[in-house]
Amino acid sequence: MIDVIVVVVLIFLGQMLGSALGLIKRPSDRLLHSSLGYAAAIMISVSFLELLPEGLTVAPLWLVAVSFLAGIALFEALDHLLPHIHPEFLKKEQRDVNRSVNMLVIGIMLHNIPEGLATGFSFALEPAMGVLIALVIALHNIPENLATIVPLYCCRKCRKTCFRIMMIPIFAETAGFAAGFWLLGGSTLQILGAALAMAAGIMVYISADELIPSAQLRQHPRDGFISVALGVATVLLLGMLV
């Protein structure tokens, strides 16, 4: 029960912290890009150092590989339907900003459901693994929500209204976690292993398609190297502690 509470707190904390920071003061582009690189390194490291090896211990290689690709395909399909989430959206050159901001919030809400599922899948196999994934996704949600609430505030001009709107993606991710855990709670180990691989595919796709391009690592190579190195080191340290 304590582990479930920790996961839910992490879901709320990561998203609320990102929203609060965006409402208090927008950070510099350099800091925002570095935080995205850090989040990308964390998500990729967890996928290849934790999720996939754990999945291979309980499921055959072919099933893990197919499930990993299925996770990537799932988010690829979502990306054809939903807007991308990039910090460049903070700039004001876009036309019809109100509509774009609304679509961005809806996109984050629907993106957060598979992220919650990834946490639920991991938690169903091993609670400690679920807590680790929840922490990783929380770190990813901080810059993501920050990049969303700034243009939202520019349109709504009311901090309370913006904060209430940003609660919607939080509940979407929480619902995804509950659904993932409930669906796989009594499943066989092979299904759980496949679910972990699918979660890894989702996280790798998010990193490669959204976080890494937004981090602008080529434009800021030194900051990019430091943020990526810190992300990998964070996962190694968390793997020892969790």
Residues 6 or more apart in contact with residue 41 via CB below 8 angstroms: 227, 228, 229, 230, 231, 232, 235
Q: Give the C-alpha separation, 46 to 32, whole Å.
A: 21
Q: Give the C-alpha separation, 168 to 106, whole Å.
A: 9
Domain ranges of the chain: 2-21+32-241
pLDDT above 90 for 67:
yes
Residue carrying the six token digits 């659904």: 179
| Predicted TM-score of the model (pTM) | 0.72
Least confident of 16-30, 83-97, 169-183, 192-206: 83-97
Mean pLDDT of the chain: 79
pLDDT above 80 for 184:
no
For 96-119, write each residue's pLDDT tens digit: 455 555 666 666 777 788 788 888
For 4-57, write each residue's pLDDT tens digit: 888 889 989 888 888 887 777 666 777 777 877 887 888 898 889 888 998 898
